[in-house]
Amino acid sequence: MYEIVKCENIFHAYHGKEENVVLQGISFSVNEKEKIAIVGKSGSGKTTLLKIIGSLIIPSGGKIIVQGNNLRSLTVPEVLEFRRKYVGFVFQDNNLIDFLTIKENIELPMKFINLPRDEREKRIEEIAEALDIKRHLYSLPKELSGGEIQRAGIGVAVANYPPLILADEPTGNLDFKTSEMVYEYFNNISEQFNSTLIIVSHDTNIKNFVDRVLDMRQINKI
């Protein structure tokens, strides 16, 4: 089995007035196509860990390999290339641009990689179908409900079929039923596009939708 993410003894400290050690000796691996939840209390370092996996932060110590790339040794252009090719991010407060329609939002990452127009149209159709947002493609984000906005945000994240989807509290503002629906769409997407999924959540219900739960209390030796 191929390990798409491999963390070995990750250490991370933020430097403010005092040093704040957030991650201490974290080691775990994620297999290709696995669905993982990272849970833990507020301030336990979940977002920090997710940002390290997506190469938005370079850890202070340890080794992190994602899709064969040693993230601590990439140059700046290599980091940008890595993120564009391999990672789709979903944030709690969504990643939609408010003056673009849902269709234009999903299309934007495809334009960045110069995907031809007919291929873009085909993918948008497929993604909107999987996320059940076809009838909202020509709406602006402000015309959508919370759950629809989250699904559209997932659409943007998966626009270029990233092998790895990283989602930080994607259902943070949603009620129980809508959260379940969003998790189900995540499952659809990961199955349809063969992606690996790492979801950070406070929601204990997440365990019913993933293959494995990583609890910060167990993996962080702090």
Ligand X SMILES: Nc1ncnc2c1ncn2[C@@H]1O[C@H](COP(=O)(O)OP(=O)(O)OP(=O)(O)O)[C@@H](O)[C@H]1O
Is residue 67 within 8 A of residue 41, CB to CB? The reply is no
Q: What are the backbone dihedrals phi and psi of residue 62, each rounded to the nearest 5 degrees, phi first?
A: 95, -175
Is the CB of 148 or the CB of 168 nearer to ligand X? 168
Interface residues for ligand X in 64-103 (CB under 6 A)?
Answer: none
Q: How far is the CB of 24 from ligand X (least distance, A)?
A: 12
Is the CB of 20 or the CB of 218 nearer to ligand X? 20
Q: How far is the CB of 125 from ligand X (least distance, A)?
A: 35
Residue 116, contacted partner among Mg ion, ligand X, none, CB below 5-8 A by kind = none
Binding residue (CB under 5 A) for Mg ion from 47, 55, 105, 195: 47
Q: How far is the CB of 99 from Mg ion (least distance, A)?
A: 27
Q: Does 43 bind ligand X (CB under 6 A)?
A: yes
Angle CA 189–6–95, to nearest 5: 40
- Residues 6 or more apart whose Cβ sits within 8 Å of residue 17: none
Size of the site for Mg ion (CB under 5 A): 1
Locate all alpha helices (DSSP H) within the chain, ordered by sequence. Answer: 46-53, 76-86, 102-112, 117-131, 146-157, 176-193, 216-219
Q: Does 45 bind ligand X (CB under 6 A)?
A: yes
